[in-house]
Amino acid sequence: MEARHDLTDRTVPANDPGAAGLDLDAYFRRISYHGERAATLAVLRRLHRLHPQAIAFENLDPLLGRPVNLDLASVQDKLVRSRRGGYCFEHNLLFWRVLAALGFEVTGLAARVMWGQPDETVIPRAHMLLRIALDGETWLADVGFGRMTLTAPLRLAAGVVQSTPHEDYRIVDGGDHFRLQAAVDGDWRPVYHFDLQPQQPIDYRVSSYYMATHPQSHFTWTIMAARPTPEGRFTLSNDRLTFRGLDGTNRQRRLESTDDFVETFRTDFGVEVPDQAGFAARIRATGILKDA
């Protein structure tokens, strides 16, 4: 049967991420959270640290031509019950639902990814992040940005250096938008540009459909995976596995077989590769796996 990408979610109003059917207990078990269930900054910080450490960023479904559905049932089944990872829309829509269920006031935002791009480049708003109003202040949450996924929420305060369990970040006021920058190897590197215009779930479905299916989308022909740990960050870019430690260490190796890919996903990213035969064929067809 042909895979179908449904851009609508008829179970909830268009401007509501929907929490009906959310299994909060299962989510907390998935990320090993055992604390209080309250809309406080301490809870937000702890959830934001635990989520990306437990649920990896990965793009296996777009690579394999499998649908990426953003309704709660699909996202929850994939990221929580099946112990897979996903990309920004899946991560942050799930996180939005969890935070809303705890009583947080959450708004979805969109960003233009600038990582690895000249700062003046104009690209589509193809990334999702969250705005949280809490105790008279505005916070940003983002548990799905790949190799630079935040491991703590950031206060929306321009020009202030903010520490996370991993890198330092700062938000720069760009006039009609804000610029998120990360301190990497002694330099401030652009991560993404964003503004405060609210986005609806349907907006993310349109963006996600393009990212998951268009032949020019790098999600369809490259491998990307990332997971922070208390000691550093694992990153997989095609056949290159990197671990950057908080102590400054940097280890790299090349993956050389399908079995190596499958085991690396399992041990370093906590992900079981679906359809391993199809995966093997795909990474050879794209040239990701180089024949010895």
For the question of residue 127 being annotated catalytic, the response is: yes
> Is the CB of residue 18 less than 8 Å from the CB of residue 97?
yes
Amino acid in the structure at residue 42:
A
From 51, 91, 127, 166, the catalytic residue: 127
206 burial (CB, 10 Å; 0-12 / 13-18 / 19+) is: exposed
For the question of residue 48 being annotated catalytic, the response is: no
For the question of residue 168 being annotated catalytic, the response is: no
Q: Which of 102, 111, 139, 116 is nearest to 19 (CA)?
A: 102
Strand partners, 233: 228, 244
> Is the CB of residue 179 less than 8 Å from the CB of residue 105?
no
C-alpha span between 61 and 32 (Å, rounded) = 25
From 48, 88, 91, 268, the catalytic residue: 88
Sign of CA dihedral 32, 93, 179, 120: positive
> Is the CB of residue 196 less than 8 Å from the CB of residue 176?
no
From 9, 61, 142, 239, the catalytic residue: 142
Residues known to be catalytic: 88, 127, 142
